[in-house]
Amino acid sequence: MSLDVSPDLLAAAERGPVSDAEFIDCVRTSLPYAWEVISGVATSVDASGFADHEIPPPSEAERGQLLRALASDAIRGGLERHFGVKLAFQNCHRVGAFAPGAVDGDRYRAFISPRGQLLNQSPELRDC
């Protein structure tokens, strides 16, 4: 299971849409490592419009949290709206955060390019 959904939040979702604030709170409490990484990188975006996190997770559990957060369109989109950034992801741990104005820039295009992905590979990360 990706998220620990409280009975109250589940009941609210069964009745209709839930607010981003309720959803983000569920993500924050369910995926604390992913929240730490993403909030850290999102709040570190510099004047160039970019920040990244390149430290491998300490365990498979933390790696799983990061993968779940960034692989889910709903979670990733909620985090992007909450922090006001565009998230980009490479490997099992490299997360980039871009200010909205930097998304069309060279650095963003390089980060998400096939070349950028290939250059970010290493034997140590083969099975991540």
Half-sphere exposure of 83 (CA within 13 A, CB side): 25
Q: Residue 126 above 80 pLDDT?
A: no
Give whole-number Cα distances, 78 to 58, 115, 116, 121, in Å. Answer: 25, 28, 25, 28
Question: From edge to edge, which strands make up the β-sheet containing 50-53?
Answer: 50-53, 94-98, 86-90
Q: In which band, very low, low, confident or very high, does the pLDDT at 3 lie, cut at 50, 70 and 90?
A: very high
Q: 4-8, 62-66, 67-71, 118-122: which has the minimum mean pLDDT?
A: 118-122
